Amino acid sequence: MGVDVTVVGGGISGLACARAVQAGGLSVRVLDRGRRVGGRLASRTLWGRPVDLGASYFVSDDSDFDDVVAGWADRGLARPWTDTFAVIDADGEQTIKKGPVRWAAPRGLRSLAVDLAEGLEVRTEHTVERVDPYRVDGHDAGEVVLAMPGPQAARLLTAAPGGDIEWEPVIALALRWDSRHWPSDLHGAFVDADPDVSFIADDGDRRGDGAAVLVVHTTAERARRHLDDPATAIPPVLDAVRRLLRIDTDPAETFAHRWTFARPVGTTGAPFLRTPGLSACGDAWGDRAAVRTAWGSGHALGRALAGA
């Protein structure tokens, strides 16, 4: 393929890796099977606006990532969202918890991936069938980087790096009402001890446009029952949301999206894997699964590959 590095996977980790490789003076190409880059920084246009269906937010606490976030903020691509979330118990009782500032993107988190891809050679809708050290689908590819969940990497080679880490599924539900039926200061909420719901985000508050849209992440247990048909999760999860938030009316429109490999249960502890000809990065590397971990893993691997 005539490049120094081929990155398979166009999520935030793969794009961060590619940018660091290119900044180090090497040639790099990104291959992604999707129609657009972003991976789990997924935003879909619903009801005339972007809705984040993958990652809910990100936190910045790393000096290198801070510089990237500052650039996004200066250009209006990212904004501080909130440092206050609720914790909702199974009876709907809320406790307010302070924490780090969570950041959001007015145009959807995918817009940040699109920004990272600017200036890179990216091939979308490119399905890779097989990788080996220095080779992709039987062709010379330079150093090969797998920037994807371990179970997906396992489909491309026999012994996938990070393949022993368990991943949980999630179904993300977008729910639109004609008007808001929850407190204006809800922001987002972690849900404890509910069999159906793990997290709720006020997407209008997160996006900054005030739209009456909630995005709900199911528990892994609920998601596993509906992976074949995500829309079948809507009735039980909607019942749970109405009970937890004490909403007395159904939404005007709904949408469900399946994430078979939404998040790793654990992490490797190492920032990335590097072996001759075949390396790996992503949010299963590092000390905790998070957007900043994914970026940091890819960035660190890219610098290592470029000899920085």
Mean pLDDT of the chain: 94
pLDDT band at 52 (very low <50, low <70, confident <90, very high): very high
Q: Where are the domains of the chain?
A: 1-42+109-162+268-308, 56-105+166-265
Chain segment 82-110, per-residue pLDDT in tens: 999 999 998 889 999 999 999 999 999 99
**Cα 161 from chain centre:** 20
Cα separation, 137 vs 128, whole angstroms = 7
- Does the pLDDT value for residue 5 go beyond 90? yes
Fold of the 56-105+166-265 domain:
Polyamine Oxidase; Chain A, domain 2 (3.90.660)
Domain 1-42+109-162+268-308: assigned CATH number = 3.50.50.60
pTM of the complete model: 0.95
Extract the tokens encoding 288. 């905790």
pLDDT of residue 224: 98
Degrees, nearest 5: CA angle 1-14-64: 130
